[in-house]
Amino acid sequence: MELQAGDKAPDFKTTDQNGNTISLKDYKGQKVALFFYPEDDTPVCTAEACNLRDNFSALKAKGITVLGVSPNDEKQHKKFEQKFQLPFTLLVDDDKKIANKYGVWGEKNMYGHIFMGIKRTTFLIDEKGKIAHIIKRVLSKKHTEQILKAWQL
């Protein structure tokens, strides 16, 4: 069943780029932008991450915590974070358990080539742990704008 705005955001437990154990319930009482992206250090994913980095202070000023999720491991996330000076947490989902809970792991079609992968999606989760909004058509170079507009901040 596909998640909808108003649903309780599925909890998860994983590690970040620094080896810290992270779970969604750690962020209860905060607004969270949970963005799923296919792979570290690829052109579109880098554009999205850098847009969030470049506008991080605006997001932080509105009380939004940014969490990125991809199937990459801690080491790859750490390299990505350092190469682009990313100020937010990158979560490891190498077993795709989080992506499956959120319904973003699935069949993709690129230039007629069908394969399984992460469907670039951002979930805006409110202070009570409910999904406030789902951004399915992420504009990598304008993602911060989409997040702020969706939350009308």
77, pLDDT greater than 70: yes
How big is the chain, counted in residues? 153
Give the architecture (CATH level 2) of 33-150: 3-Layer(aba) Sandwich (3.40)
Q: Where are the domains of the chain?
A: 33-150
145, pLDDT greater than 80: yes
C-alpha dihedral (44, 48, 50, 54), degrees to nearest 10: 150
Per-residue model confidence as pLDDT tens digits over 1-16: 799 999 999 999 999 9
Catalytic residue among 22, 34, 45, 92: 45
**Long-range Cβ contact pairs of 82-88 (< 8 A, separation 24 or more):** 83/41, 84/46, 84/49, 84/50, 84/53, 85/53, 86/49, 86/52, 86/53, 87/53, 87/56, 88/52, 88/53, 88/56
Per-residue model confidence as pLDDT tens digits over 62-76: 999 999 999 999 999
Q: Is 45 designated active site?
A: yes
Identify the pLDDT of residue 153.
61
